[in-house]
Structure 1
């Protein structure tokens, strides 16, 4: 049993197939082998027939397509060595980032804590000063409260400056992150894709279109699967030849059967014995 396997195009690659097909049909009159487009079969009929025969046409470039999808998958999924290296060899900027994060936390917490202490000491100090006989440490509480108020003001200014510097740093590093090659493929993937597209064009689409135009029995009105697949070599499983018992019997002599002759025994009296 012989089998020819037709590759199943992924959805993301069907756009390339249709793009190549449309480009060929659009420039058909520039190619001598496709100059007959429009005489018996127009571009739309040929396009519909070719789309029905996508799998058989793609089978002509099966090797290139398999290589292309393999290389693309390898490029999309990085190897485990990358993650292991990232764990064993951390980025030198990690320590600096951690230090910057600790500084940011201190810068944010310092005004909050100092402001809370200032409110408490000032409130208690002024309440004690409102008594008829204020204690001697009321002035000390007020001094501590104003000290924490000054620390709060300095901390707020430092936090504002830190936020401004962080925003400027992020804006400067964000531009290169947005401009990487979006839409560009790695060199190996791009070469594999170009090889597949070239093989699909030269060994799949063009031979199919030439065969469809050269077939005088092609019905322009029947641009369905049956009309499209007959221009391509048969792809699938070949049916083994089985012969029925009647065919073998006609080739030779049929065996003949004869029924055995049964004779009934002769029964008689004691005086009559069988001969």
Structure 2
């Protein structure tokens, strides 16, 4: 779990905060004031609350932490100007004649001299192998040996320059004891232990005690009433009440349908056989 950022705690010191907190919660059973850990609040709940209140807890040991951080920064600062360097400053080299020009000459002279020596010696001895040899063959061989001597002198000068540079650097180096003596490491260690002790006694332990006390005085939550499996929840609306139009005693009887009563007009058939209908 990552800790919330505290305004005055550096990232390298947040691990110490978590380490102290975890050690206290791990050994809470050995402290009478933290004996209720696990009853009112679990160790993980206390750890979460403490990490969320990192800035407030670390403020209790702000003075010790500031002293410890100051000493640590001073011990890590680069080496300042020593009194010996003030009394005996190193001689400045004139412009245009530094170690760079010397290094270039010491490298180029052996290389160029060696290449020239190989070329002149090779050509001179090849010409001397001819029959009759040319007159300038001996001159080429002599020039080759001259460049060979220049090459040897250049290599020797480069070796001497490297030796002188190494001796000069070793004389200007400060011993390790002198650099470490500016700020004794045990003083930084003592400041760190003082900060850790103040953080534990004035920050973490009081916070854990108060968290346990507040959890003990908090009213217990009333349990929710149990509901039977057959009881359905009332949602807030009722089903519509449908009723039949006729709720009387004849509601259960089937409707009685009768065929329509059609009656025809009252016609009498003519009596063609009667005297009143006979044609005259």
TM-score range for the pair, normalised by the shorter chain length = 0.5 to 0.7
Give the direction of change, closer, same or farther, for the CA distance of 1:141–1:82 in structure 2 (3 Å limit).
same
- Change in Cα spacing, 1:190 to 1:153, as seen in structure 2 (3 Å) is same
1:242 corresponding residue in structure 2: none
CA contact (8 A) 1:64 1:196 kept: yes
In the superposition, the TM-score normalised over structure 1's length comes to: 0.54
Match of 1:117 in 2: 116
Question: Residues 139-195 of structure 1, C-alpha deviation per residue, up to 9 Å, x if partnerless?
Answer: 1321442464577589889989x99xxxxxxxxxxxx99xx99xxx82222211111
Partner SS state of residue 36, structure 1: coil
Tell me the equivalent position of 1:65: 65
Shift of the 101–220 alpha-carbon distance from structure 1 to 2, 3 Å rule, reads: farther
Give the match's secondary structure for 1:206.
Answer: helix
- Aligned pairs (5 A) from 1:39-54: 39-54=39-54
TM-score when scaled to structure 2?
0.53
Residue of structure 1 in register with 2:20 after alignment? 20
Unmatched runs of 5 consecutive residues or more in structure 2? 1-5, 91-98, 163-174, 222-280
The CA deviation at 1:83 is 7.1
TM superposition shift of 1:202: 0.5
Superposition deviation, residue 218 in structure 1? 5.3
Alignment partners' CA distance in 1, 2:86 and 2:140: 52
Distance of aligned partners of 1:83 and 1:148 in 2 relative to their CA distance in 1, 3 Å threshold: same
Structure-to-structure mapping, 1:121-132, within 5 angstroms: 121-126=120-125, 128-129=127-128, 130=130
RMSD: 4.7
**Quick one: structure 1 residues 219 and 62, their matched pair in 2 at CA, closer, same or farther if it must change by over 3 Å?**
farther
User: Which structure is higher in RCO with an 8 Å CA cutoff and minimum separation 6?
Assistant: 1
1:93-145 C-alpha deviation (Å, 9 max, x unpaired) = xxxxxxx999987775454233122123224424654586611x421321442
Partner of 1:263: none
- The separation in 2 between residues aligned to 1:102 and 1:13, in whole angstroms, is 50
SS of equivalent to 2:81: helix
CA distance in 1, matches of 2:78, 2:24: 36
| Structure 2 counterpart of 1:196 | 195
Partner residue of 1:9?
9
2:219 and 2:85 map into 1 onto residues whose CA distance is 63
CA distance in 2, matches of 1:15, 1:90: 45
- Looking at CA atoms only, which structure, 1 or 2, has the larger radius of gyration? 2
Give CA-to-partner distance per residue, 1:216-262, whole Å, 9 cap, x none.
Answer: 145999xxxxxxxxxxxxxxxxxxxxxxxxxxxxxxxxxxxxxxxxx
Counterpart CA distance in 1 for 2:113 and 2:220 is: 87
Match of 1:94 in 2: none
- Distance in 2 (alpha carbons) for counterparts of 1:17 and 1:63: 16
Higher helix share: 1
